[in-house]
Structure 1
């Protein structure tokens, strides 16, 4: 009865082609196919929503804004660049207190395959060329180790634990776990590193009318984007693990930011003390036409939102505030967020019970798929279908303005994304390497260290210093280019 119901639902959703080869399949393949389809309990709603998304995407133009956008009110924002040292120290202390009480954890989104990097391995396995040859995962793991050490020193204790939840994808899970195993979890206790997978969404034809198939008993699927984090935390039991461990506050970030302050105590302390439901870090937009999304106030909804660079008119993107001389909209989204766990526990079940709670974003792609006339797999040379993504920030408008915070941080200290292959114009291994070495060298010079030549650069290990602290020992010492501290 259940098997018939699944078939009927997809046929009713105008997808009878999925069963063109049904009678030729073995009973085992039929069962596996239906198991795959059962992940999508309302196919008619899914298909209709995809068609609407494709239509909206076709109607949109890059010349105008889709939102009535303005900057967030000052009451919602702070800037690390402008705050007093005493406030920063207060927030940092509050963050370390959360670690000491075992109430804070870290969520890493690491589902990317690194294809744009030209790598066969996940981005976190990539070696950007540091003198130490540490891959991205190791750099981030060691920042957690350092936070645990600093917390123990601050409270004269031992055994502080900051759990690390890592969202992988079907394409990266096995490789990522193998990498962690081969490196003995970089010194972290393996029971405190929790892997879980993001979900998938079907791939559709260009007009959204048909779900594509990769063979006679499997539909084409692709990762559901960073917006899949919410459902994945629910489905995988991560939310329940938060509860069992007593976790109340989360710092979430993306693997490809090599400068990220993993578990930043200042950010956690500020956001939790303000009793925000969600907070976000931003960097100041480099120029009027930098291709970045922006954190804004949607005035029609009176709610926080993200506006994509393609949605901003030339006039609005170039608008400058007369009193400050700064761009009117300048808060660049870097996908670096704080979450109150009580809010996640309350809202995620509500969000995912409504299958259309997050809009679909459309990407036209070349998708290897089944030719129904020949029954063979075809690898197209031009885009032949759409992959669907959901974005993590599309939940922002569901948060009331007074429960949302925005912290501006320094780009040179906290944001350098690893996206493109060596030789590209930006966001490459070379730019990431330069960002880390520039920050490390700055810390050494600020603490009285000396360089053997003006252009020398050094690497400061995360195990030595989390944010430039504890480097008094470098005073008066001369460091060679490429030296590790």
Structure 2
């Protein structure tokens, strides 16, 4: 079957074994409803408990994991090695980077992983975010944007670029059904490998007790995009990549329709730098912009989240008045698969980040509780925390107008809305058309499918075809799609 299941065949523990596991950590309450459960419920609860690392969880609850003084860290931060969008900052040219990246694509060295565990809650959309229609003219979904880009790359470089799609418990079933019912959006079925990310239990913020969502289920939440590495390993994806000759993994998240998926220049920078992990960034528009800050401290590249960065550090400037910490993370990375192997075999571990959340749960009598204020602590890991462990890291600047238009919030919010993303798509594609001497009014909605042209250069090569298609060099209709 082309799409893999993420279920693990965990052995079911007996009641005595469960009690022995829970008692040292004072979590015996998880068996409170055991006798009222049928065999299926007992099996589910047993398997969930067996997957919890209670020693690790106790360390997190007690706050004994390593605390980080981000203010002190930021005061020593500088910029890591960076390639500007114009190609400056490295020992090779943009053309050399493009040629090297194209060769890697032709040789089948590149696989992709799409992190799509979130639902469109903040969008007012009750389905997996990847199913959100974002095309300003076509109504294509986010998933379709990425599939079309992969189809175009596969045709351009003569090789099927695989898509590893990481879902969560909340999005897995619907995402699988969506791809199956829509003929994998034009991709070959064997090109799409769907797997589920791991989970962490939520704990009561005041007692440290694990919460229960049902009598047969812990209150579980996704373990963050930092769980991607172990989820890929646990589901056999890394072994599959290596069997098929892939050497590098292009990582991106589901909310950005403008991501330059399989961009040969980005890939080329990564390879020419001999980097184990390369990160794409934008130049921050203002000091406290809500993006992770890519910095270097003590010779190690890392990301300090905007929420952890004191304003005094965010506003530090160079002598010329420019921001000292200018590089904002947009969650696009490229990994060397040998680096993944090394990390899986090492003792290094991701730090956990805490979030205070409202988590519905059962009380002691089994009644459902819906809190109206944060009552629980969730723990998650971030993929960018691999950066300090990577060798020869490099960051690559992109123009946000060309590569970053995230869809996070419902229309009406100040930033990251569908309307703003659609405007960015139209603005970009109108600019492409104008480089082909096509006159197009700012009011015209324009959307160019990458299967027609992946970038401005390809569109210029096809400019004669474009003019023929629109019967002249002026677009007067209010919508244009190719």
Cα distance change of structure 1 residues 54 and 276 upon mapping to structure 2, 3 Å threshold: closer
User: 1:51 Cα deviation (Å)?
Assistant: 2.7
Residue number in structure 1 paired with 2:180: 181
Aligned: 1:385 with 2:382: no
Residue number in structure 1 paired with 2:85: 80
Q: TM-score, normalised by structure 1?
A: 0.90
1:367-446 alignment runs, 5 A limit: 367-372=359-364, 374-400=365-391, 403-446=392-435
Residue number in structure 2 paired with 1:220: 219
Residue number in structure 2 paired with 1:157: none
Q: TM-score, normalised by structure 2?
A: 0.90
Structure 1: distance between partners of 2:389 and 2:75: 17
Residue number in structure 1 paired with 2:323: 327
Identify the range of structure 1 (467-476 vs 405-414) with the bigger mean alpha-carbon deviation. Answer: 467-476
User: 1:273 Cα deviation (Å)?
Assistant: 2.3
Structure 2: distance between partners of 1:208 and 1:199: 24
Residue number in structure 2 paired with 1:47: 58
Residue number in structure 2 paired with 1:345: 341
Structure 2: distance between partners of 1:408 and 1:20: 53
Task: Tell me, yes or no, if the aligned pair for 1:95 and 1:265 is still in contact at 8 Å.
Answer: yes
User: 1:128 Cα deviation (Å)?
Assistant: 2.2
Residue number in structure 2 paired with 1:477: 473
Structure 2: distance between partners of 1:67 and 1:425: 28
1:88-103 alignment runs, 5 A limit: 88-103=94-109
Residue number in structure 1 paired with 2:303: 306
Structure 1: distance between partners of 2:317 and 2:87: 19
Q: Any gaps of 5 or more consecutive residues in structure 2?
A: 1-11
Task: Tell me, yes or no, if the aligned pair for 1:358 and 1:390 is still in contact at 8 Å.
Answer: yes
Residue number in structure 1 paired with 2:233: 234
Residue number in structure 2 paired with 1:33: 45
Task: Tell me, yes or no, if the aligned pair for 2:75 and 2:313 is still in contact at 8 Å.
Answer: no
Residue number in structure 2 paired with 1:284: 283
> After superposition, what is the alpha-carbon deviation per residue over 1:275-307, rounded to whole angstroms, capped at 9, x for unaligned?
1111100000010121221000123xx311111
Partner SS for 2:243:
helix
Structure 1: distance between partners of 2:367 and 2:312: 50
Structure 1: distance between partners of 2:432 and 2:308: 39
Task: Tell me, yes or no, if the aligned pair for 1:200 and 1:221 is still in contact at 8 Å.
Answer: yes
User: 1:147 Cα deviation (Å)?
Assistant: 1.2
Residue number in structure 2 paired with 1:155: none
Residue number in structure 1 paired with 2:128: 122
Aligned: 1:259 with 2:255: no
Runs of 4+ in 1 over 6 A off after TM superposition: none
Structure 2: distance between partners of 1:277 and 1:2: 40
> After superposition, what is the alpha-carbon deviation per residue over 1:229-250, rounded to whole angstroms, capped at 9, x for unaligned?
0110111111111111111011
1:52-201 alignment runs, 5 A limit: 52=63, 64-73=71-80, 76-83=81-88, 87-152=93-158, 160-201=159-200
Cα distance change of structure 1 residues 208 and 482 upon mapping to structure 2, 3 Å threshold: farther
User: 1:220 Cα deviation (Å)?
Assistant: 0.7
Structure 1: distance between partners of 2:229 and 2:409: 27
> After superposition, what is the alpha-carbon deviation per residue over 1:39-88, rounded to whole angstroms, capped at 9, x for unaligned?
12x3133222233179969xx8x9x4554442334xx2211234499822
Structure 2: distance between partners of 1:54 and 1:425: 36
Structure 2: distance between partners of 1:164 and 1:137: 11
Structure 2: distance between partners of 1:84 and 1:53: 41
Task: Tell me, yes or no, if the aligned pair for 2:226 and 2:380 is still in contact at 8 Å.
Answer: yes
Matched residues, number? 460
Partner SS for 1:250:
strand
